[in-house]
Amino acid sequence: MTTSTRHAAASLLTAALASLLLAGPSHAATSLTFAHAHPVTDSQHLAAERFAERLAERSDGELTVKIFPNGQLGNDQAMISGVRSGTIDLELSGNPYFSGLVSELNVLDLPFLFDTREQAYQVLDGDIGQDLLTAMQPQQIEGLAFWEIGFRNLTNSRRAVENADDVSGLTLRTTPNPAHIAAFQALGANPTPMPFAELYTALETRTVDGQENPVSLIRSANLYSVQEHLSLTAHAYTAAPLIMNKQTFDSLAPELQTLIKEEAQEAARYQRQLNHDNEQGDLAFLEEQGMQVVREPDTASMRAKVAEPVRAEFTEKHGSELLDRIDTALDQ
C-alpha cells in the first residue's frame, strides 16, 4: 500500500468515526404487540392502524406496533391478563372488562349516565378520566386514553322493543359489568355475561335472545344476520380504555412515553369521529339487511326503572364522591 493510499484510507476511517460520534448513540427499535377483539372492518381496528402508523412515523422507526385483531390473542379478559403479565404490550377492550380490577371504573357504565357523546368526552378527556386511568397503575397497567365502544342499543330475535315492558323475559348477553347486569335485572330480563368472541355463536344458536352494542359493531360483527329487531335505546355509553403494560411503558425514554400518550389521544379522537360519521350509514345498512328498527323507543320508561336504583347501588358500594364529580362536570 502506498503512502498516499494509506493516508486516504486513514482519512476515510476518521470521517466515518466522526459521523458516528455526531450521530450520537443508536436506539434499537421497540416492537409492541397490540391486541383487540373487534373485526378488521371496525373503527377500533382502523384507529389502531392509524395509531401504529403515526407512532412509527413520529418516532423515526423507534416504535413499531404489530396489531392482532378479532380476538387472535384471546378474549377480552385473557388479553387484559396478558397486558398485566407482560405477554401483550397494548390492548383495547370495553370498560366493563376492567371494572373487576378497578371497581370505580364501573361508574362509567351506569345506565343513562350520559345523554350525548359530548358529555361522555367531557368526562373521559378531563381530570376525572385521567384519575380513572391512573387508578389502573397498581394492576401493572398504564392507562393511555379512552377510545370508545359507544352508545349501546338493544337487539334481539324475538320481538320489537318499544318500551321497558318489552325487555322483560328476554335472555340478553351482557358484559360482566355489575351496572349492566343490575340494569337488565331491573328491567326483568335475564342478563347473561359472556365474552364478545362468543356472542355471534350464542345468538346464532339461540342460547341468548339478544344483546346490546352500538350500531357500528352490530354491522362490523355481522350481528344483523342473526338478529331481527333493533331498538335505538342508547341506554348506556361504553368507553374503551387503551392500556399498556406498565413495566414496558416505564422502560421507555420519557419522550417516547409522551409520544405514545399523545398518539393514543389522537387515535381516540379519530376513532370517535369515524363512529359518528358512519352512524347513519351503518343504520341504513342494517335496515337494508332486513333488521326491524325502532328508532324512537320509550326510553323514559326504561330510565325510570333502572337509572336511580343502579346509581343507588353504586353509591352504596363506592360512595357518592365520583358521581358527584361527574354531575358537577356535566353541569358546567
Residue 7 lies in a domain: no
pLDDT at 257: 98
- Specify whether the CB–CB gap between 147 and 242 falls below 8 A: yes
Q: Is residue 195 part of a domain?
A: yes
Whether residue 122 is contained in a domain is answered as yes
Torsion of CA 66, 69, 71, 76, to 10 degrees: 80
Look at residue 20 and tell me if it is in a domain.
no
Is 5 inside a domain boundary?
A: no
Question: Nearest Cα to 44, choosing from 75, 78, 68?
Answer: 68
| 251 neighbors 167 (Cβ within 8 angstroms) | no
Of 212, 117, 113, 110, nearest in space to 161 by CA: 212
Q: Which structural domain, as residue segments, surrounds residue 85?
A: 28-331
As for how many domains the chain has, the answer is 1
Burial degree of 292 (CB within 10 A; 0-12, 13-18, 19+): middle
* Domain CATH code at residue 263: 3.40.190.170
Give the pLDDT score at 23.
40
**pLDDT tens string 11-24:** 444 444 344 333 44
Q: What is the pLDDT of residues 235-294, one digit of tens each?
A: 999 999 999 999 999 999 999 999 999 999 999 999 999 999 999 999 999 999 999 999
Judge whether 161 and 267 are in contact, CB under 8 Å: no
Q: Give domain status of residue 261, yes or no.
A: yes
Average of per-residue pLDDT across 204-233: 97
Predicted local confidence at residue 71, as pLDDT? 95
77 is written with which cell numbers? 379478559
pLDDT at 169 over 50: yes
Predicted confidence at residue 2, as pLDDT, reads 53
Q: What percent of the chain has pLDDT over 70?
A: 92
pLDDT, tens only, 116-136: 999 999 999 999 999 999 999
Residue 64 lies inside a defined structural domain of this protein: yes
- Between residues 317 and 15, the one the model is more confident about: 317
Return phi, psi of residue 32, to 5°: -115, 140
Q: How confident is the model at residue 231 (pLDDT cuts 50, 70, 90)?
A: very high
The 10 Å CB-count burial string (b at 16+, else e) for 54-85 is: bbeeebeebbebebbbbbebbbbebbbebbbe
Q: SS3 of 146, please?
A: strand
Number of other residues whose CB lies within 10 A of the CB of residue 42: 23
**Strand (E) positions, the chain?**
30-36, 63-68, 90-92, 141-156, 171-174, 190-193, 210-213, 229-245, 292-294
77 within a domain of the structure (yes/no): yes
Cell of 139: 394492576
Helices and strands, counts by H and E, the chain:
12, 9
Residue 10 has pLDDT above 60, yes or no: no
Predicted pLDDT at 3: 47
